[in-house]
Amino acid sequence: MSRRKSNDGAGLGKPIAFRLSDADRAAYLEKVARSGLTQSEFFRQAVLTNRTQVIARPVASADRKRLLYIFNKTSNNLNQIAHRANSEHVRGQLSETTYEELLTHLHLISRYLRCSLEKVD
């Protein structure tokens, strides 16, 4: 079976694959079916000829990237605090002092995040 040649005489290149949620896949396949084209032809005609509207995501500033990094690190700290509180509670060893120490850590994290948020675009 021969491959279809593109307009410039070259054959088709490497395939491109990507994943879709079930809902997005169903919507895509429905549009393809209504068009009467194959999936590849539909993609070439609808996407490559710019019959679709592309809305670009805004580029994150350096401050926003730094804030995301901080939030990711903070989530790790929150998990450690929760794990310690839960494990000591299960063992019956969660003392008032430990509870207050963990609460102090949570307040510090909260204040730090609030302060950081005010400085981001």
Any alpha helices (H) in 54-120, and if so which ranges? Answer: 62-90, 96-117
State the pLDDT confidence band at 92, using cuts at 50, 70 and 90: very high
Domain spans, the chain: 17-55, 62-117
Tally of CB atoms within 10 A around 28: 14
Supply the mean pLDDT for the chain: 82
- The pLDDT value given to residue 66: 83
Between 100 and 51, the higher pLDDT residue:
100
pLDDT given at position 1: 46
pLDDT of amino acid 23: 93
85 pLDDT band (50/70/90 cuts)?
very high
